[in-house]
Structure 1
Amino acid sequence: MKKILYFLTMALALIVVSSCSEDDVVYNTAPRAAFTMSEAPEGYEINKAITFTDASTPEANTNIVSWLWSFGDEANTTSTEKSPTFTYTKEGVYNVTLTVTDNHNLKATLTKSITVLDPLAAISVQWAANLSGSVTGGSSPAVSADGKAVYMLTGGNAAEPGRLTAFNIASGGTSWVLDIDAAMVSNHPTGSAAAGCKDIYSSPSVGADGNVYFIVRDLKDAGANRRLFTFAAKPNGNVAWTYAGPDANLYAITPAVDAQGNVYTAQRKGKIWKINNGECTEYASGLGDITGGLSVSKTGQLYGAGKGNTGYFGFDINAGTGAWVYNAEFGAAPTAFTGALRSSTPSIGADGTLYAVADKATGGMVMAINADGSLKWKYDTNTSIADGGVAIAADGTVYANLGIATEDTPSGVVALNSDGSVKWTYAVEASVQTTPMIDNRGYIHFIDAQATYYILKADGTLFSSLSLGEACKSTPVMDAEGNTFVVVTKDGALQMLCVRTRAASYATDAVWAMRGQNPQRTGLQK
């Protein structure tokens, strides 16, 4: 007796055939269903075709003869093609099912889920918090060392004090507010009841110890009582220490923090201060007018920017002397945030190359400067770029803002190869005077002067954009959880926004992912 057994999907059929030969048992199983989907490293998107490729395996001596696909959409769309394409028109998570049948009518089924995104819905505001005071120039937020708070400086006036505000990242609530005017008064070395600040162009940075560092000028006192204050605020908002230096004019300085915890600030009389726990070492840089920066290399080179013929500079902290100045072709920056001043912060490449933007007498440029101060390359632009800066991806790609838009010349962002050749440009009609930022996907984020937030893919195509308000001068910062923080003007009021963009984090593998290199804005080379 010969018995032939066929195993069907979830069932067993037995057919008995008489024979004079010895008994045999022959098993035949259903095919194995399998399929792949076209690669989309950056995620599947609506209105873009997805190819589903059959990869099923039949049993020996059998053939797959039919395919039935179900795409899980609202219309219950199906296909009998072997490897069909399908386009989803709505965002969602869909179950895609393939059923294959062989020539013995045996069936096998496989279901996979697929997430399809709508790029237009990729940007959303998680919370918005009103800010008191003013945000001037390119003043921008910084994230706490533990990732639980975001800090922002706001300027004062005759009636209001300057403030450092800490916002709770999870809720958007105010954790604490440091009254800077009161801190000036209580920490004034000779005593002053009138000390206080007005416009603040600088930005905070955060050390590994959690202290928040910032520099502000007393503009409410007069004469010999005026001081230039560098503060360290503890994570709870109390003042850790203060250095009240001699009065000097100040612009958009963000303190740099090195690996040893030294804090570097500078002012417009050309003095550089290295401060540790309130104790200051002063360097006479020989520079005319320091207005922007600062960034510090692993080897102790301090970099910043200045107005007039100061240009960009490198200062050797170890030797205590100026190393070099680069200012070839620089213009007067008439379209900077406040006249002929530069507030851009230079970025440091993995090999020590300095990258920066600048205005020229006509137009602007993105440039790479060698460690000795000589020009490595420059990329000329039709737009003046008096403010902003450069982000550097892990592969060395340089992303820079394109500055001031005119009626005839758009602004936007340019991507350059490490040799200065152009990868792509993305144009927008509004000015872009803030520094681009890179997320974990390699996407590039930037915001224009009209508060439209853009996300570009690595190839320069638009992923998403959203209007967040009416105006913006603040460079965004992204934390390790993918939260983005930026200050905009909306409905006539200043607001700190927490924005989600579907990024998981900033680009931790980038050479210089954002202004200040990291969410704490330390300006320290990796």
Structure 2
Amino acid sequence: MGELRKLTMQIKNQMNFHKIVLALFVFCGAFLGCSTDEKEAPIVVIATPLVEFSYTPTEIRAGQEVSFNGRFLTGSSAITSWVWNFGDEAQSSAASQTAAFTFPNEGVYTVTLIASDKNDVSSTVTYDVTVLEPLADPFEASVVWAYSNETAVTNYNDGSSSPAIADDGTVYYLESFGGAESRLVAVTDHGTTATKKWDYSPGVNLRNAPTIGPDGSIYLGAWSVDGMRKINALTGAEVWFATTGSGISNSTAAIDAEGNIYVGTRAEGIFSWTAGGTERWKFKEVTGTGYYASPVLSADGSTLYALKTNGLLYAINTADGTAKWNEGMTLTADATGSSLSLDSDGTLYYTTAEEVVAVTDNGTGGTVKWSSAAEGANSSGVVIGLDGRLYVGSSTGLMALDPENGSVVWTYEAAMKESVPAVDAKGNVYFGTSDGRLLVVNQEGELLKQLNLTTNEVHSPVIADDGTVYVEGYNGSSITLFKVAVENGEGPVDSFWPMKGKNKRNTSFDL
């Protein structure tokens, strides 16, 4: 979302009140049956409507849907009616606190909001909205279906959650914060509709995205029932459970070409198992703190990189679980939600609550290549677009970074939380916002599409081979999976790390 503009209000009371926030009425004398020499009469304070509105995007093009949001201010009376007029030739209107409108042509439109209370006292806010000419090559995308299992949850999905897509088109998504009812849901996409194939519940919160192995099985860690699970893709039945002795938080499992699984825990280090559930090795140091970030595999699969919350970055031999090296990173802020990612030249990226850091593996250690300020980036992660450009979410919006030095190329302002971007074959970037939108911008940071999906967090999108996008959204009480069709879509960008987990399976490795 672009920066919400506080609009200059023109309060036009429809009754004979002064243009002030509070109307004061003094009742005395005959009205209250008191004499003039009695104590001072009571003062009754009556509030009037005080409102403002904002809209997104702030740079609008003809033919592009715009979201309008009315808000009452401190001291306002309770608003019972919201009426919009969008200033077009047809005098289009809406009667709700929030509204969406598409301006048909370029020009300047006077948008008006009239807010009234139960006493029929109203205030009017107006703002001139400039609409630019439409893009020469319009980007077309639309929601095909929305599916929810309707499990009650108390929070958005953690760990920048992302669906996983199997080769047969089955989509797996999480309902994380349902307590004992938390579930992994398998959805069959029928094209224009979706149905549930099965769901699986381990009885505890699920705080990491699912991963799909080479044989199509699904792997999932859990927060407090300590261990990793392998789940049958056809039935949803548990194939095996491997205990870890410690919960698995935001660490989504990485899987190599042989089907070996790698995951970090909160207190017991890093584990690796075979596809059959046999423990290959366990890596645990003397120092405390956990591995909340998802580990990543090198291009040849020989090295596993993992970041501890105390700042220790490890390179681990995948063959036997021994350390190649460890490097102490100076963490300036929390890194518990970080999603690690990797470039084709071996550069490793991690995020904290204050910055993005690029690290080079020099064989015997890790050398910081650069760091770039990025507030709130620990709830996102770095992805790679066309020409190597980097993208990462932050609390101020989507940031485009130069891979050579980490300098900020541009920022598209929006409220982001728990969303790793995804880049398509044309270089367009998809990302979720914390106010319910899926946004698509081009390489220059220009908005191509805004889809209003829900009311709260929209998580990390995943791009299928045909360009279809799947993403989870939270509405304050449940999680919904959305399918978005992209006209002339061509799948993810041909880069080393185009989206969370590297690919549609979330494996952090090309199987």
* Kept after mapping to 2: 8 A contact 1:215/1:231: yes
Matches within 5 A, 1:70-469: 118-119=138-139, 122-131=140-149, 132-134=151-153, 135-138=156-159, 140-155=161-176, 157=178, 160-169=180-189, 170-181=191-202, 196-197=203-204, 199-219=205-225, 228-239=226-237, 241-268=239-266, 269-286=268-285, 288=288, 289-297=290-298, 298-310=300-312, 312-333=313-334, 342-359=336-353, 363-372=354-363, 373-381=365-373, 383-402=375-394, 404=395, 411-422=396-407, 424-469=409-454
* Kept after mapping to 2: 8 A contact 1:272/1:284: yes
* Kept after mapping to 2: 8 A contact 1:233/1:239: yes
- What is the Cα deviation at residue 273 of structure 1? 2.3
- What is the Cα deviation at residue 174 of structure 1? 2.9
Aligned partner (choices 487, 497, 502) of residue 502 of structure 1: 487
Distance of 1:47 and 1:485 partners within structure 2: 24
Distance of 1:390 and 1:236 partners within structure 2: 33
> What amino acid does structure 2 have at the position aligned with 1:487?
E
Q: Describe the SS at the equivalent of 1:148.
A: coil
Distance of 2:333 and 2:442 partners within structure 1: 34
- What is the Cα deviation at residue 441 of structure 1? 0.9
* Kept after mapping to 1: 8 A contact 2:164/2:210: no
Distance of 1:388 and 1:500 partners within structure 2: 24
- What is the Cα deviation at residue 237 of structure 1? 2.6
Q: Count matched residues.
A: 375
- What is the Cα deviation at residue 262 of structure 1? 1.1
> Could you state the TM-score of these two structures normalised by the residue count of structure 2?
0.67
| Worse overlay, 371-380 or 292-301 | 371-380
Gapped runs of 5+ residues in structure 1?
1-44, 49-88, 91-114, 182-195, 220-227, 334-340, 405-410
Distance of 1:152 and 1:47 partners within structure 2: 33
Percent identity (aligned): 21
- What is the Cα deviation at residue 305 of structure 1? 2.9
Q: Describe the SS at the equivalent of 1:241.
A: strand
Distance of 2:506 and 2:494 partners within structure 1: 16
In structure 2, do the counterparts of structure 1 residues 388 and 157 end up closer, same or farther at CA, with 3 Å as the change threshold? closer
In structure 2, do the counterparts of structure 1 residues 165 and 157 end up closer, same or farther at CA, with 3 Å as the change threshold? closer
Give the aligned partner of residue 80 of structure 1.
Answer: none
- What is the Cα deviation at residue 512 of structure 1? 0.8
> What amino acid does structure 2 have at the position aligned with 1:236?
L
Distance of 1:215 and 1:491 partners within structure 2: 24
Distance of 1:147 and 1:502 partners within structure 2: 21
> What amino acid does structure 2 have at the position aligned with 1:435?
V
* Kept after mapping to 2: 8 A contact 1:133/1:155: no
Instruction: Give the structure with higher Rg (CA).
Output: 1
Distance of 1:473 and 1:324 partners within structure 2: 37
* Kept after mapping to 1: 8 A contact 2:252/2:263: yes
In structure 2, do the counterparts of structure 1 residues 251 and 413 end up closer, same or farther at CA, with 3 Å as the change threshold? same
Q: Describe the SS at the equivalent of 1:386.
A: helix
In structure 2, do the counterparts of structure 1 residues 491 and 201 end up closer, same or farther at CA, with 3 Å as the change threshold? closer
Distance of 2:240 and 2:338 partners within structure 1: 26
Deviations 1:227-277 (A, max 9, x none): x23222222134362133142132111111101111112212213223321
In structure 2, do the counterparts of structure 1 residues 446 and 368 end up closer, same or farther at CA, with 3 Å as the change threshold? farther
Deviations 1:375-396 (A, max 9, x none): 3422321524222111113522
> Could you state the TM-score of these two structures normalised by the residue count of structure 1?
0.65
* Kept after mapping to 2: 8 A contact 1:482/1:500: yes
> What amino acid does structure 2 have at the position aligned with 1:301?
T
In structure 2, do the counterparts of structure 1 residues 47 and 466 end up closer, same or farther at CA, with 3 Å as the change threshold? closer
* Kept after mapping to 1: 8 A contact 2:424/2:490: yes
Gapped runs of 5+ residues in structure 2?
1-60, 65-103, 106-134
Distance of 2:485 and 2:283 partners within structure 1: 44
- What is the Cα deviation at residue 146 of structure 1? 1.6
- What is the Cα deviation at residue 285 of structure 1? 3.3
Distance of 1:176 and 1:314 partners within structure 2: 39
Distance of 2:492 and 2:251 partners within structure 1: 24
* Kept after mapping to 1: 8 A contact 2:163/2:471: no
- What is the Cα deviation at residue 414 of structure 1? 2.2
- What is the Cα deviation at residue 320 of structure 1? 2.2
Distance of 1:414 and 1:133 partners within structure 2: 33
